[in-house]
């Protein structure tokens, strides 16, 4: 095999490794940063009046190693 062909094969192998690494980084980012959304509806009666309360809970996650690994956000909406 000529020296030129050997260099071309080495470069193609390096390109394949870089593409695989890039795909792993993208997949890790998509899988490691996500959010969960929960909505709870509570209906109760007191003093003869029925009330409905809706509580939305957003739970964001990232799996990077730092102090704020998990964060929680609460939003509350009331309906009557």
Instruction: DSSP for 3-72, please give it.
Output: HHHHHHHHHHHHHHHHHHHHHHHHHHHHHHEEEEEEEEEEEEEETTEEEEEEEEEEEEEE-SSSTTSEEE
How do the domains of the chain map onto residue ranges? 3-79
Enter the tokens of residue 58: 């957003």
Question: pTM above 0.75?
Answer: no
The model's pLDDT over 56-65, given as tens digits with 9 standing for 90+, comes to 877 776 665 5
User: Cα 25 from chain centroid?
Assistant: 14
Nearest C-alpha neighbor of 19 from the set 29, 9, 11, 7: 11
Q: Which of 2-16, 20-34, 43-57 has the lowest mean pLDDT?
A: 20-34
């Amino acid at each position: 095999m000529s020296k030129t062909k050997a260099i071309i094969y080495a470069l193609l192998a390096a390109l394949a490794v870089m593409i695989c690494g890039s795909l792993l980084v993208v997949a890790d980012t998509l899988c490691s940063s996500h959010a969960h959304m929960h909505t709870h509806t509570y209906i109760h009666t007191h003093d003869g009046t029925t009330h409905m309360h809706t509580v939305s809970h957003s739970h964001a996650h990232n799996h990077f190693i730092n102090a704020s690994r998990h964060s929680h956000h609460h939003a509350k909406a009331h309906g009557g």
